[in-house]
Amino acid sequence: MKKISLLLAVLITGLYLTGCKLANKLTGQEAAEGWVFLFDGKTLDGWRDFKGSSDTITAPWKVEKGTLTALGTGSDSTGYIVTRKEYENFIITFDWKIAEGGNSGLLYHVVERPQYKVPYVTGPEFQLIDDAGFPDPIEEWQKAAADYAMYVCDTTKKVLKEAGEWNTSKIVFDNGTVEHWLNGQKVLGFEAWTEDWFKRKESGKWDFAPEYGLARSGLFALQDHGSRVWFRNMKLKELPRKPKQENLFNGKDLTGWDVYGTELWYVENGELVCESGPDKEYGYLGTRKYYNDFELSVDFKQAANGNSGIFIRSFISRGVSISGWQVEVAPPGNDSGGIYESYGRGWIARIPDEKETILKMGEWNTMKIRVVGDKITTWLNGVMMVDLQDEKIGQGKGRVMLQIHSGGGIKVSWRNILLTEL
């Protein structure tokens, strides 16, 4: 009897040790397919504080018995850690369990900017919560596996383990096609950046967060929301980007664009017109979507003054205060096709004096802009104006925006605004 008991003990111990050994270990097929671990089961390597600049993690996270563990001392505004690397399109799978009454989340496409105090104002969240034991009443959009405050789960397919038990989850983000999986079942799916998506974003919790969910790439973030939560087997496979072309202006109205400021933006005779209003201030017309790498072609005609511009990877922080990079559109002699940074450095690339004659004032011109990684190239009427490599531009994220300059007396028409994502 003692021998049988000893044998069982050895077998159980062996199974336990084997399980521990296999945790955070890829199969040969997974490795060949490009899967990697975001957590190695031993250290916090690859993670840092949200908006942290050093290797030290001060947030309440540690490695505990092979799990990435939140200590439960964070809050809504503290306790976040993020990956050191950014990701765009991916499949991520992970095991998680949460303490009784607990609340947490895994966020993706998180953007770090000085004005953003928390990751969730930019990054969508796969909600992790104890549905049954949470102390306050919660809505479906707050429950586990929901796309927090946006899309809810199919309750007929959702099976959530009790607090303290392990769940397995998966998020697929494939060029805007999104899936949430819980314990082997697909519990929701949606398309990002559609009319339905924007309607949800603009009519719910994200009214106060204009840049929420727009980034095409970003960091993963984990949240300590004041309760213990454990992660293990965090595996990720990156998916390829799928290039596509969009006509950003439909020739009829401003669908797909947002107006910033009081200057005038309207459609006339199939053309998009910007014109100085009574305030004679800066004004912007920005795409609702973000664009990372792309080639943009646009025709413009300067009817009066012509001081304008095309911004790339840009966003409005408040009012008409813009952060980003402008491809200049201006009267002759003012560097049309050059690159101006709207904060910090000012001009970072002017055009040669001999190319000032390429602009045709009062006639239709074509500006082409190619942005890939940290490189930006501009052409005016088929002639290269600037070819620049710049680290800060490479780190930028944001919208395409058209500008009207302050001062009054300006009128510029635009047409054929074609963008090809690369």
Same topology for domains 28-238 and 245-421, yes or no? Answer: yes
Span 59-86, average pLDDT: 96
Alpha-carbon torsion (165, 219, 151, 201), positive or negative:
positive
Q: What is the pLDDT of residue 24?
A: 76
* pLDDT exceeds 50 at position 171: yes
* pLDDT exceeds 90 at position 235: yes
Q: What is the pLDDT of residue 4?
A: 42
Span 127-146, average pLDDT: 97
Read off the tokens for 13: 């111990």
The whole-angstrom separation of Cα 144 and Cα 125 is 10
Specify the length of the chain in residues: 422
At residue 1 the predicted structure's pLDDT band, cuts being 50, 70 and 90, is very low
Beta bridge partners of 105: 127, 223
Read off the tokens for 102: 């607990």
The whole-angstrom separation of Cα 113 and Cα 117 is 8
pLDDT tens-digit series, residues 190-219: 999 999 999 999 998 998 999 999 999 999
Span 309-316, average pLDDT: 97
Asked if residues 55 and 48 have their Cβ atoms less than 8 Å apart, the reply is yes
The whole-angstrom separation of Cα 37 and Cα 22 is 13
- The CA R_g of the chain, rounded to the nearest whole Å, is 25
* Residue labelled with tokens 């969508």: 124
* pLDDT exceeds 50 at position 116: yes
Asked if residues 38 and 234 have their Cβ atoms less than 8 Å apart, the reply is yes
The whole-angstrom separation of Cα 41 and Cα 22 is 11
Span 139-159, average pLDDT: 98
Residue 45 main-chain phi, psi, to 5 deg: -55, 140
Q: What is the pLDDT of residue 19?
A: 38
At residue 20 the predicted structure's pLDDT band, cuts being 50, 70 and 90, is very low
At residue 3 the predicted structure's pLDDT band, cuts being 50, 70 and 90, is very low
Measured between its terminal Cα atoms, the distance across the chain in Å is 69
Name the more confident of 17 and 356.
356
The whole-angstrom separation of Cα 404 and Cα 419 is 21
Considering the domain delimited by 245-421, tell me its CATH architecture.
Sandwich (2.60)
Using H for helix, E for strand and C for coil, what is the string for the chain?
A: CHHHHHHHHHHHHHHHHHHHHHCCCCCHHHHHHCCEECCCCCCCCCEEECCCCCCCCCCCEEEECCEEEEECCCCCCCCEEEECCCECCEEEEEEEEECCCCEEEEEEEECCCCCCCCHHHCCCEEEEECCCCCCCCCCHHHCCCCECCCECCCCCCCCCCCCCCCEEEEEEEECCEEEEEECCEEEEEEECCCHHHHHHHHHCHHHHCCCCCCCCCEEEEEEECCCEEEEEEEEEEECCCCCCEEECCCCCCCCCEEEECCCEEEEECCEEEEECCCCCCCEEEEECCCCCCEEEEEEEEEEECCCEEEEEEEEEEECCEEEEEEEEECCCCCCCCCEEECCCCEEEECCCHHHHHHCCCCCEEEEEEEEECCEEEEEECCEEEEEEECHHHHHCCCEEEEEECCCCCCEEEEEEEEEEEC
Closest C-alpha among 79, 6, 69 to residue 39: 69
At residue 277 the predicted structure's pLDDT band, cuts being 50, 70 and 90, is very high
Q: What is the pLDDT of residue 219?
A: 98
Asked if residues 34 and 237 have their Cβ atoms less than 8 Å apart, the reply is yes
Percent of the chain at pLDDT exceeding 90: 91
Closest C-alpha among 305, 299, 323 to residue 313: 323
Inter-CA distances, 4 with 12, 17, 159, 185, 420, Å: 12, 20, 38, 40, 69
Percent of the chain at pLDDT exceeding 70: 95
Asked if residues 263 and 283 have their Cβ atoms less than 8 Å apart, the reply is yes
Of the options 2.40.37.10, 3.10.20.30, 2.40.50.140, 2.60.120.560, the CATH number for the domain spanning 28-238: 2.60.120.560
The whole-angstrom separation of Cα 213 and Cα 123 is 5
Q: What is the mean pLDDT of the chain?
A: 93
Residues 6+ apart with CB under 8 A from 356: 332, 333, 335, 336
Q: What is the pLDDT of residue 344?
A: 86
Domain boundaries, the chain: 28-238, 245-421
* pLDDT exceeds 50 at position 278: yes
At residue 23 the predicted structure's pLDDT band, cuts being 50, 70 and 90, is low
The whole-angstrom separation of Cα 311 and Cα 371 is 11
The whole-angstrom separation of Cα 138 and Cα 227 is 17
The whole-angstrom separation of Cα 414 and Cα 280 is 20
Asked if residues 325 and 314 have their Cβ atoms less than 8 Å apart, the reply is yes
At residue 347 the predicted structure's pLDDT band, cuts being 50, 70 and 90, is very high
